[in-house]
Amino acid sequence: MQATVTSHPPRVRLKPAQYKCITGFWLLLTILEVVVANRPPRFLIDGQSEIVVRLKEGPDTPVGSLIYRLRGVDPDGDTLQFGIRDQLGSDILRLEAISSNEANIYLVKELDREIRDEYSFVLTLTDGHLGDGNYITQSFLLLVEDVNDNEPIFRPYPSAITVKEDASPGILTTVEATDLDEGAYGQVLYHLQELDGDVQNFAIQTVNGKGVIRLTNRLDYERKSLYQLRVLAVDRANQGRVNTGTAAILVKVQDVEDQPPEFVVASPVTRISEDAPIGTSVLQVRAIDGDRGVNNRISYSIISGGEEHFDIDSSSGVVYTVNQLDREDPNNSNGAYILEILATEESRTISPMPTATTEVTVIVTDVNDETPRFRNDRYVGEVLENAQQNTPITFLQDAIPEVFDYDQGKNGTFELYLTGDHGVFDVTPFKGINEASFLIRVNDASFLDYEKVTVMNFSLVAKEIVTKDPKMSIVPIVVHIKDENDNFPEFTESLYTVSIPENCGVGTTVAWVQALDQDSDNYGTRGIRYTSLGGSIANLLNLNPISGVITVKQAGGDSFDRELISRHYLTVEARDDLGKGNRNTAQLIINIEDVNDNAPIFLANKYEARLLENEMEFENPLVLEARDLDLNGTKNSHIEYSIVGGDYRDNFTIDPNLGIITPVGGLDFEQIPGDNSNLRPIHLTVRARDFGEPSLSSTVPVTIYVQDVNDHAPLFQQMMYKRSIPEDMPGGTSVLEVKARDADGSSPNNRVVYRIQRGASDKFVIESRTGVVSVANGSTLDPDKTTPKSNRYTLTVVALDGGIGDQQLSAAVLVNITIVDVNNKPPVLIEPGTITVRENTQVGTQIYRAAAYDPDDQPVLRYAIDKAGSVARDEDGVPISLAEYDYLALWDLNAVDGTLKVVRLLDREKLEIVKLVITVEDMAAIDGGPRQTASATLTIVVDDENDNNPVFRKPLYKTSITENSKNGVNIATVIADDADKNKSMNYFLEGREELLNLVHMDSKTGEVVVASKIDHELYPWINLTVKGVDSGVPPRYSVVDLFIQVLDENDNNPIFESSAFEYRVLEDVEPGTTIANILARDADSGEFGKITYLLDRMSTQ
């Protein structure tokens, strides 16, 4: 950005410094007044004529951005006020003063180049003493640079195009999209897409900013009749955002007649009954025009096959009968007719008309007019119950099991099946043709049970297998079931369970068993006898063979003592047919009922267990168990446990059913009286009783040994320890002491030792017995010599008691040790390296920031430039002295934050490399010690800017050339020099066209040579302008005048002005008389143009 200062005539302000007045006569009044003239302020813009700022539009330059910093200076040191004149567009800027002579300009509205690309403002400056409405002004030009923020927008275009399918490739239409952006952002390229990806038939080209859509291949309506094209307009942005606009074009393909008809409905085979009436519709065919977009009318005709029996409607394609059909007719190929049908497209443009043919087969089917018949109207048979599967029924009364139907084919084929038999029987065969004999067999013998059914009635059906109106016959079947002794006696219960007391007497009824039989008469229940009783006490019991009642025959003995044998198993047998037929058995279980005659007895004489202090469970479960010999599961053997004695019985509970003793809560070892041993006993008494009548019980002693555990952890006397020590404290020095105590009552549980668990970093140690923390021998506390750097140590000190293994308890405490820094180390300046600064960089621009750090805490670092060590060189590497050019005055180094700014404009042509030695010093170093400083060299390379015009070595060039000189002869060499780095030069000649054609200049060397014949008589002088252009960006140039004098040669002969010289003279004329004046001219100049006249005496007579 460039800036300039616009000045106004200075105004004078009088400031009274001192007033001394002496009043007298008016003409003798003398005033002594000291006045001071106000000097106007001015903008600091480095000699430029205008401030120019370039900003990108839109979000690239956000609202609120700082776009320029104004600086001014007032010779009087007054506070400056910057402003901007109200004008159209001035509301996009906001000025904010940041110091007495500086103000920032902020952007407050978003820029849009398409709305406005340039703003010209007038800035104002006053020191408050210029008078009302008077300001120093400065022009400010804001240029808005384009960004790619507009999408291409299509101009109106046809949304639908119709193209014939036989159209030749060529241009279909043209679309155009515009983009409001400029440059490549506003240039549009076109691409083509199709909804189904079918774009091989179309293409688009970008021609003069428009998209030319072409048809590249022939279309086929029958393949695809509609294309949905999408035209993409994409701008030519080569980086960043790329914008796209779209346009949709529908291409409709118009059909032409080029396809024959197509049959779409034509059944290959159709059947019709032989009794169909004349005019019956047999089938229908349908054809359509192969050209879907044309759709001509189709007519139909039969061209061969069955013409005497069938015809077709020419419009609808319906085939119908014209004569009565007969399937048995020998001329019909077993009732089949093959018809060839012709479809003709009624086209007005194609001759002959397009046609298509198809074949259909018509089969004449038979008529069913017979019914299947049985030989008998009713069938009666018999079968034994329990007959095996497939056993045939024996038919009675001379029945003939046959059925017949004399129709042909399927009409004479019938199926046989049974109804109403519930699957008990089946018939074979299941299918017959014209005539068949049949059998009825047993299928499911489980239903043939005389006890359930004695007679079965069902039907036999003969039915044709045709699906339409099948004929059938039904005949009734009666089957008689014959009985057998096929049932066994069945006890009312498969298992009889009874109970008797162990003191029962003779004649006591033990059980009553009963069996039933479903057979009839003696085969059944009436003929059942109870034949035997077997088992462990069968000899002590009596079984009644007819009633089944069992009673006690002999009492007493071990068999009726429950404690010896509590259950007896016996088997009872029953047989039908008066004890001679089928047999069956049942099991009898006799339970001997209990009497409470046994007390509970513990399995051990005493019980002992060990319980750890504070534990809620024993090491091993303490389970007391008693046994009662009385019957399990009864009150006589049901045992209940309870604690009935002992000083600590309230501290324990016992499960009344399981006998498990558990503590109510944890016991404190220290609260139980006893000696110094590790175990202290507790004595209890436990009782076990049953629930019989009367209740019986017994007791047992229980001893529980409570074992001491390490249940008290050490406890530190303080919650945290803190201490600050200097970083130079020597090793072995005590820092502090920690103390902890343990509440356990015995050693080793209450013996405490100390350890540093973490955080010491090998810097500290602790005495295990006393808890004294000291600096480790040989260690240094200097944070700068510690990796990682640390000035605070948080030690975790652990106090451990004498518990063993997992029982050992501990406590931890934090010990915070702060290392106090001693400022005894110099700062470290980060190597600055090399930076590049463009010449003419705006004054005030920050180009570098020095960075340094100090290992010490709270350093006070100050930066400076070492003038003695800094050097500068020009582009040839020649050192520059300060007297020659004060290169140190170009920079300003902030002593506090190390920022380096440009304070004067840089000129690369004066210096190219500056090596500044930057120093940093810690101002907080300890008193009396050496200065703590560091230095480094910053190399600044001044980058060239094309800010110098080429300078010709002469103010003008003047030379000469002889006319008629040969082409290529050197006339002059013009050379220009450029102080910038881009020293390569291009030379150009400027002047009248006819003069430029006479000479040629080498654009690289500046040599001017003859290019064409030069004639002094036409061009005595060739005056041209030479333009020298450098290779910078943007290029700069200078011009110089070139004057070429064309020297004359004697290259022209004298020419007489008249071609006829004939004069008449009187013969008496006097000698010396003038006869004629002969005049000749010569185009040459000077001596070459002077003419001498002579008479040719040879030709004079």
Mean pLDDT within 94-102: 91
pLDDT of residue 758: 92
pLDDT above 80 for 1020: yes
558 band by pLDDT with thresholds 50, 70 and 90: low
3.40.190.10, 3.40.50.720, 2.30.30.90, 2.60.40.60: CATH of 602-707: 2.60.40.60
Q: Where are the domains of the chain?
A: 18-145, 153-254, 262-365, 373-482, 490-593, 602-707, 715-820, 828-943
Closest to 799 (Cα-Cα) out of 854, 847, 741, 880: 741
Percent of the chain with pLDDT over 70: 94
Half-sphere exposure (Cβ direction) of 983: Cα atoms closer than 13 Å: 6
**Residues in the chain, total:** 1101
What's the token pair of residue 104?
């920032």
What's the token pair of residue 510?
């033990």
Closest to 82 (Cα-Cα) out of 46, 42, 49: 42
d(Cα 460, Cα 403) in Å, to the nearest integer?
Answer: 11
The string of pLDDT tens digits covering residues 252-270 is 888 777 778 888 787 888 8
Mean pLDDT within 726-737: 88
9 band by pLDDT with thresholds 50, 70 and 90: very low
37 band by pLDDT with thresholds 50, 70 and 90: low
Mean pLDDT within 650-679: 86
Mean pLDDT within 950-956: 92
pLDDT above 90 for 410: no
d(Cα 672, Cα 708) in Å, to the nearest integer?
Answer: 10
1096 band by pLDDT with thresholds 50, 70 and 90: low
Fold of 153-254: Immunoglobulin-like (2.60.40)
**Which of the two residues, 406 and 451, has the higher pLDDT score?**
451
d(Cα 486, Cα 518) in Å, to the nearest integer?
Answer: 9
330 band by pLDDT with thresholds 50, 70 and 90: low
240 band by pLDDT with thresholds 50, 70 and 90: confident
pLDDT above 80 for 675: no
Kindly report the CA angle at 1061 between 1055 and 1066, in degrees rounded to 5?
Answer: 150
Closest to 729 (Cα-Cα) out of 779, 786, 790: 779
Domain 715-820: give its CATH code.
Answer: 2.60.40.60
Q: Which of 66-75, 289-298, 535-544, 1089-1098 has the lowest mean pLDDT?
A: 1089-1098
Q: Beta-carbon neighbour count of residue 676 at 10 Å? A: 7
The string of pLDDT tens digits covering residues 601-628 is 999 999 999 988 888 888 889 999 999 8
CATH architecture for residues 18-145: Sandwich (2.60)
CA distances from 531 to 421, 534, 978 (A): 41, 10, 147
- For residue 381, list its beta bridge partners: 395, 479
Q: Beta-carbon neighbour count of residue 856 at 10 Å? A: 21
- The three-state DSSP-derived secondary structure of 790-803 is CCEEEEEEEEECCC
Mean pLDDT within 445-458: 86
d(Cα 8, Cα 14) in Å, to the nearest integer?
Answer: 19
**Which of the two residues, 450 and 675, has the higher pLDDT score?**
450
pLDDT of residue 21: 29
Half-sphere exposure (Cβ direction) of 1021: Cα atoms closer than 13 Å: 6
| 1071 Cβ neighbours under 8 A, 6+ residues apart | none
d(Cα 277, Cα 271) in Å, to the nearest integer?
Answer: 14
pLDDT of residue 262: 82
Domain 490-593: give its CATH code.
Answer: 2.60.40.60
The residue type at 668: D
Mean pLDDT within 104-131: 88
Cis preceding-peptide flag for 330 (omega within 30 of 0)? no
The string of pLDDT tens digits covering residues 811-864 is 999 999 998 887 878 899 999 999 999 888 898 899 899 999 888 778 888 999
pLDDT above 50 for 34: no
In 908-1067, where do the E strands start and end? 913-922, 933-943, 951-952, 956-962, 970-973, 976-977, 985-990, 999-1001, 1007-1010, 1021-1030, 1037-1047, 1055-1056
The string of pLDDT tens digits covering residues 478-532 is 998 887 777 889 998 989 999 888 777 788 888 999 999 888 778 888 888 898 8
| Under 8 Å between Cβ of 924 and 823 | yes
Long-range pairs for 1041-1044: beta carbons < 8 A, 24 or more residues apart: 1041/956, 1041/957, 1042/956, 1042/957, 1042/958, 1042/959, 1042/972, 1042/974, 1042/989, 1042/1008, 1043/956, 1043/957, 1043/958, 1043/959, 1044/959, 1044/960, 1044/961, 1044/971, 1044/972, 1044/999, 1044/1008
Mean pLDDT within 530-547: 88
18 band by pLDDT with thresholds 50, 70 and 90: very low
Fold of 828-943: Immunoglobulin-like (2.60.40)
6 band by pLDDT with thresholds 50, 70 and 90: very low
d(Cα 192, Cα 1017) in Å, to the nearest integer?
Answer: 68
pLDDT above 90 for 669: no
| Residue pointed to by tokens 């008290």 | 712
pLDDT of residue 872: 92
pLDDT of residue 670: 75
CATH 2.60.40.60, applies to 262-365 = yes
**Which of the two residues, 418 and 1032, has the higher pLDDT score?**
418
The string of pLDDT tens digits covering residues 1037-1076 is 999 999 999 998 888 888 888 767 788 888 888 888 888 8
pLDDT of residue 15: 33
Average pLDDT for the chain: 85
Q: What is the dihedral of CA 559, 560, 564, 570, to 10 degrees?
A: 60
Fold match flag (490-593 vs 602-707): yes
The string of pLDDT tens digits covering residues 366-376 is 777 678 989 89
What residue spans of 499-635 are helical by DSSP H? 576-579
The residue type at 235: D
pLDDT above 70 for 170: yes
pLDDT above 80 for 98: yes
Mean pLDDT within 764-774: 92
Mean pLDDT within 670-675: 79
Mean pLDDT within 335-354: 82
DSSP per-residue string spanning 770-816? T-EEEEPTT----GGGSSS--SEEEEEEEEE-S--GGG--EEEEEEE
| 1007 Cβ neighbours under 8 A, 6+ residues apart | 970, 972, 973, 1001
DSSP per-residue string spanning 35-62? --BPPP-EE--TTBS-EEEEEESGGGS-
CATH architecture for residues 373-482: Sandwich (2.60)
398 band by pLDDT with thresholds 50, 70 and 90: confident
Closest to 272 (Cα-Cα) out of 371, 366, 373: 366
pLDDT above 50 for 1101: no
d(Cα 807, Cα 713) in Å, to the nearest integer?
Answer: 10
d(Cα 336, Cα 325) in Å, to the nearest integer?
Answer: 11
pLDDT of residue 676: 66
pLDDT of residue 1023: 93
d(Cα 242, Cα 905) in Å, to the nearest integer?
Answer: 40
Q: Which of 321-330, 717-726, 1084-1093 has the lowest mean pLDDT?
A: 321-330
DSSP per-residue string spanning 1024-1075? EEEEEEESSSS--EEEEEEEEEEE--S----EES-S-------TTPPTT---
pLDDT above 60 for 2: no
The string of pLDDT tens digits covering residues 851-870 is 998 887 788 889 999 988 89
pLDDT of residue 5: 32
334 band by pLDDT with thresholds 50, 70 and 90: low
pLDDT of residue 1002: 93
